[in-house]
Structure 1
Amino acid sequence: MKIAKKDKYSVGQLSKASGVRVRTLHFYDQRNLLKAKRDINGYRFYSDYDAALLQQIIIYRQMDMTLDDIANIINADNFDLLSALHKQHELLIQRRENTNDMIKRIEVSIKMAKGEENLDAILKGLPQVKVDEWKSQIKQDENGDAVFKFYGKLPEEDIPNIKDEADEWTRHYMEVTHLPVDESEVQRLIKEAYIIMNRMFYKTMDDFSGVDYDFLKRIIIDGRQESVVVDIYETYQKGLATHYFDAMDFFAENSLKQNEEELMKLQ
C-alpha cells in the first residue's frame, strides 16, 4: 500500500495509512524492526523515512520472509533504503509478469476444461464409450488443445441450442445420403451446415469475417483426414462422412467460390 508523504505520523495515523495494525507496529518496535521516535512531550511518532521503511517491511513480509531475516537486512550497516526499494520494485514487476503469465495459463486451462464439457454436451446421446475414446484421441493429438479451446469459447447459454440445431440437421441429412451430392435437397442442407459452421466461427474467433472458399477447402481436407471427425459422422450413419465431405466440396466449388461475399456474411 502506498503511504502519502507527511512530516510525521502518530502510531494511529501510520496504522491507518499503511493498513498495518497498531498492535503490529508496537510489535515491530519491540523487535527493533521499526522503532518509533518520541517528541518533546514523549508521544510516539514516525517519520517519512519510517513510513517508507514500513513499506519495505510490508513487501518483505508479502514475500514470506521471516522477521529475523528482515531485521538482519534493514539493520545492516550497509543497508540502503532507496536501493532496496528499487530492487524490490524490479522484483515485484517481475512477480507481476510471472503472475500474469500464470493467470493466462490458468485461463487457457479453464477454456480447455470448459471445451471438453461443451463437447460432452454436444455429443450427448452418442455411445459414451465412443465419446470418451474421441476425447482421448483429441488430447493425444498435437492440435488437440486448439480443439478444446475452440469449444471452450462457445457461450455456455448457447450450448443447448447448438446441440438441438446439430441434432436436427443430422437427422435430416441422414435422410438424403442416398441421393447424389449435387441434388438440390442435399445442397440445401449443406448450405445450412455451412451457415452453422460460419456461426460457430463467429462465436469463437476474434476479427472473424466469414468462412471463405480457401478456408472451407482446408476444413474439408483436414476433416477427411481426421479420424475422430470421420468416426463421429460414421457413428451416426455408415458412409455419412464421405457423403458430407463430397457434398461440402461440391458446395465450395459451385456455390461459395462464386458467391463468397454474400455467403460469408450468413450466420
Structure 2
Amino acid sequence: MIERINYSVKQIARLAGVSVRTLHLYDKIGLLKPSLRTRAGYRQYGEAELFRLQQILFYRELDIPLKEIAEILNDPQFDLIKALSGHKQSLISRRDRLNTLLKTIDKTIINIKNKTMNNVEELYEGLPKEQAAVWRKEAIEKWGEDVVLRSETGLLEMGKLDLEQLKTDQKNIVQKLKSLSGKNPESDEVQEQIALHYANIRSFWGVSDPTDLKAETYKGLAELYAADERYTIINGKSDPDYAAFMHKGMFYFADNRLK
C-alpha cells in the first residue's frame, strides 16, 4: 500500500507525470478533488486520490472524454479491480494493434526500397479500416483527389533514403517553427522557416511543377491547423497558440510569396 498520507499538488503532479495546471482543472470540474486544503489554501492529496488519478489517466489513455470519466468514477457500482482488469485488456488490444502497425511500417519500408508495393491500401494496413477510410476521405475533400493520389503514388515510388530524409526535414522544420512561435509570424526569420515548411509539404503532396504553387491548398492546410488539433500535435500534446501562429504565418506566406 501507499505509505505517504498526503501529497502536495506539485508532488502528485511529478509522480503522475501531469502538470499542476491539469490537476487544478480536474479540481475545478470536480473530477479530482484534493483530500483537504491547508489553512493557507494549498491542496493535499491522499491515497484515495492517487488511485482515482491513476484511473483518470488510464481512461484518458483510452481517449475517454473527461465528462464520461467523471460519470464512470462517480458511479456507486464502480469497481476498481474490475476497472483495472478492463484497462489491462484494452492495453493488450492496443499493444497488438501497435505490433501490427510496426510490422506494416517494416513491410512498407522494404516495399518502397524495392519498389514492390502495388496496392495503396497497404499504406494503411494495421489502422482501423473505418479510421483509415475517414482520414483518406477527409484528405480528398480538403485537398482534392488528384493531390491525394499523387501524394500516395509519390510515396510508393520514393526511395527509402529520400523518404526518411523528407520525414527528418519535416521534424526539424516543425521544431524550429515551434521555437519561433513567440515571434511575429510575418517576420523574415519566421517566413524563412515557413518557406521550408511549404517546400516540404509540396514534396509530401508530390508537387514538382514550379508553376503549380498550390497557394489555396496551402492556405487550406493553414485553416486545418487552426480548426483541427490533430494537425499541430507535438509530442502528443495540442498547442492552440502554435496552431494560431502557423495559421497566420502560412496565410501571410501564401498571400505575399505565392503569387
TM-score range relative to shorter protein: 0.3 to 0.5
Q: Which has the larger radius of gyration?
A: 1
Q: TM (normalized to structure 1)?
A: 0.40
Q: TM (normalized to structure 2)?
A: 0.41
